Structure 1
């Protein structure tokens, strides 16, 4: 016969089992709801590709705010972009508040760090003016190009990045009023569909503008230039992550469509020559620039990472010898710490000059040869935050371009999978299951927000320095920390050059003859 105690114990067990069952059912229902919400939402690629599990990313990020003091990796210690840099981009892309609290985590006495010199009477918002427009190729290209935007999308090939990524960049660039560089992989329909301005890049393999033998084709150039959206052409001599090495697209990314656009075999590694086989010296380069400009009618420049510098004197001397009509309409200077989808570590880590050195060097050379008004300067390489862009404008850049900054705006989490076709956010993969996480319509808005917010904050820096718009920033507005930790005026480290007397006359004569 059961005692009261036994009956109570039985009820406890029975209700405990029932309670456990209800908890399991509730957990299953909750997980099912989260799963459905995650796979149907379009704003977060990680949650869309990894439903339920992806939610832990945000939980751990939140916990990191409270526990980061116990772990090694702090805000400024992650590479190649630290948490503070990435977080700014994420917030800007989502159009969220980008203020911070308690104090800067930036080392303000570290060698080569930048400090902007604020004015005691900063520019009032009511006195600020829109950024003035800069024209490329005026007087030399039949269809010169003008833009008031200071920040644009650098070269990322379709193939290296995915179809939805290109579509989002194209639509976002149109909304932001900035250009999109195709990268060396050719012009795809997805570059055009958003309606943005496009810079067509000609790589060493000449994808998209090559004939059956791989040579530069005037017919293909005219075909590309017939698109009104294609506003400029850029001949890529080298890029910062792999100077002296051509583009590398692993075979896993060479789909049928990519192969057709590039004119290469499906599924095989696409490795470009390490330089243009038909460009042997500066005269060949100037001839090629003039040829492309004449055939297309549009501004033409070149992109290079700066290393050995004597060739710059040879190039600019040759421009004066031949006449200003042969000059590049712009030079894109890439930094040795620029990015790429795949490159040998020996080149990525040890070859080329960083932009902090190469940009003032090139601008000074153009001043020395009295060509600063003829040749526009575009700065590229690891500039994803407002301070880097503002610094480049101070030094003398006309425009700033970024690739990885816009990858972060698309949702990149720096998983370092760009060379493997396994990108978890769908940015650099052709796996349809991973691509579905990147919804172009939503990410395009983030691209536009990022560009707008960065340019706005460059303007904030400019107003703090007492000028009315971003392009009015000059070297006198910047100090660099020297090796002793002491602020040093940028004008002391890099005093701007005055033109050589012989080129003052030559430039005037060349301009009249042109």
Structure 2
């Protein structure tokens, strides 16, 4: 008999045997899992409901993804909803960003931003963009910053090498600056040729001595790079005020360890503050030290807790003279942050940007320092609406991190701290990085900046302002009034 015909005739028997084998193995696996779950006491659900209890963990994990795609409404998700993400995606792809049939934003909901349109808007055809704004006019090497929107700090380590390269090239195409984040200066930052802001974190990564103190020699080396235009001393960041940066050991590769000046394969945990700055006076001394060593504009980044501290800072500056002031202050809202953070801090520490930014502007105005100190707004400002609010509040610049992560293709998988980012942005897995092409993503970064600028200008012109920096607080309405929190010291009735 022909062997092929014999195999065909025996196929039903083979399939039946295979099916029985698979079912038998499955049943055996269930029995094994049943015994394991019943005999263990570490997990009460699995002990009381053997095998079935395992599905709870599975469904909990899958729920994060199903909510995003099937159940959450367009304006419902946090930290960023679908409407915001899709707007960034379309902008980065250069697609059509118009919508139809009315807004899905609940316009009467408390906290909604509304802008006051002018009866006679500025004609866009004859409008001129805002001129570059000088930062650190008294420094040997001041910086005429050309862009209203810039890329906020994301360390090499927290994000991957292809992501840094894409941001560097995209920033150069868009003509904006890129903040290095606290992880030091890498070749990937320099690759695109963009302007850079070097961030000095509490661990001094990239400019540290072996004991963790500031290396003046290394700081001068960094300042010698023409692309490095400013230095930012990070006091705190939105995700975790009062705690330093956290980079899990799995993300501390040999290259990242070398750039940071630490051991590879160990958790990279920054101190919760700079030892050099234990009070306001020491902070100003520290700023002056960095500015003198580098010759370039030097400022601070901080989350505001008690606005009274900004008044204290202004009093100390006035006592010393305006030259002692930081050249800029980056105000990070408590809703900021793209990396690993303890839940207690990410949920409940610091003031949101809508409370903090106006407080800083008002303090500088009251002290007569507003023209001396530039203010950069940061924290969940990823669309022209939030960006326009920041300029109405008085900001000179806006810096965004997560907006640019979306431009690179971030899907808000919430895996930034686990080295398993499916889009290759926050992972050092070479397999996962293969889908992130720096050349292609750089164009998306530039497209996003262009669309943000266009949307911002459109809002400004609709309000009757010649350019975004001409926006004033009267141009913006906040439904439900000002959301300023009230201290428990007075809200309960008796001050304590």
Q: Smaller-chain TM-score range? A: 0.7 to 0.9
Q: Which residue of 2 aligns with 1:258?
A: 256
Q: Which blocks of at least 5 consecutive residues in structure 1 are unaligned? A: 1-59, 494-514
CA distance in 2, matches of 1:256, 1:211: 18
Asked if structure 1 preserves the Cα contact closer than 8 Å seen for 2:333 and 2:351, the reply is: yes
Deviation at 1:446, TM superposition (A): 0.2
CA distance in 2, matches of 1:340, 1:132: 31
Asked if structure 1 preserves the Cα contact closer than 8 Å seen for 2:335 and 2:352, the reply is: yes
Q: Which residue of 1 aligns with 2:302?
A: 304
Q: How many equivalent pairs are there?
A: 422
Deviation at 1:126, TM superposition (A): 2.4
CA distance in 2, matches of 1:409, 1:112: 26
Deviation at 1:264, TM superposition (A): 0.7
Give the 3-state SS of the residue equivalent to 1:479 in structure 2: strand
Deviation at 1:324, TM superposition (A): 1.4
Cα displacement string for residues 138-157 of structure 1 (whole angstroms, at most 9, x for unaligned residues): 0x211110123110000000
Deviation at 1:340, TM superposition (A): 2.6
Q: Which residue of 1 aligns with 2:125?
A: 126
Q: Which residue of 2 aligns with 1:211?
A: 209
Q: Which residue of 1 aligns with 2:79?
A: 80
Cα displacement string for residues 337-389 of structure 1 (whole angstroms, at most 9, x for unaligned residues): 11231000000001100000000000000000000000000000001000111
Asked if structure 2 preserves the Cα contact closer than 8 Å seen for 1:132 and 1:471, the reply is: no
Asked if structure 2 preserves the Cα contact closer than 8 Å seen for 1:184 and 1:201, the reply is: yes
> Is 1:90 aligned to residue 103 of structure 2?
no
CA distance in 2, matches of 1:218, 1:262: 15
- The correspondence of residues 483-502 of structure 1 with structure 2, limited to 5 A, is none
CA distance in 2, matches of 1:271, 1:218: 22
TM-score of the two chains, using structure 1 as the length reference? 0.80
Deviation at 1:309, TM superposition (A): 2.5
Asked if structure 1 preserves the Cα contact closer than 8 Å seen for 2:338 and 2:401, the reply is: no
Deviation at 1:72, TM superposition (A): 3.4
Deviation at 1:225, TM superposition (A): 0.3
Asked if structure 2 preserves the Cα contact closer than 8 Å seen for 1:241 and 1:336, the reply is: yes
Asked if structure 2 preserves the Cα contact closer than 8 Å seen for 1:254 and 1:266, the reply is: yes
Asked if structure 1 preserves the Cα contact closer than 8 Å seen for 2:183 and 2:206, the reply is: yes
> Is 1:196 aligned to residue 185 of structure 2?
no
CA distance in 2, matches of 1:454, 1:444: 16
Query: 2:359 pairs with 348, 358, 361, which one?
Result: 361
Q: Which residue of 1 aligns with 2:337?
A: 339
Q: Which residue of 1 aligns with 2:173?
A: 175
Give the 3-state SS of the residue equivalent to 1:348 in structure 2: helix
Deviation at 1:212, TM superposition (A): 2.1
Query: 2:277 pairs with 253, 270, 279, which one?
Result: 279
Deviation at 1:233, TM superposition (A): 0.2
In the TM superposition, structure 1's runs of 4+ consecutive aligned residues that sit over 6 Å from their partners are none
Give the 3-state SS of the residue equivalent to 1:135 in structure 2: strand
Cα displacement string for residues 90-139 of structure 1 (whole angstroms, at most 9, x for unaligned residues): 0000011100011101011111211000011111122211222211000x
CA distance in 1, matches of 2:141, 2:257: 31
Asked if structure 1 preserves the Cα contact closer than 8 Å seen for 2:307 and 2:356, the reply is: no
TM-score of the two chains, using structure 2 as the length reference? 0.83
Asked if structure 2 preserves the Cα contact closer than 8 Å seen for 1:290 and 1:325, the reply is: no
Asked if structure 2 preserves the Cα contact closer than 8 Å seen for 1:127 and 1:468, the reply is: no
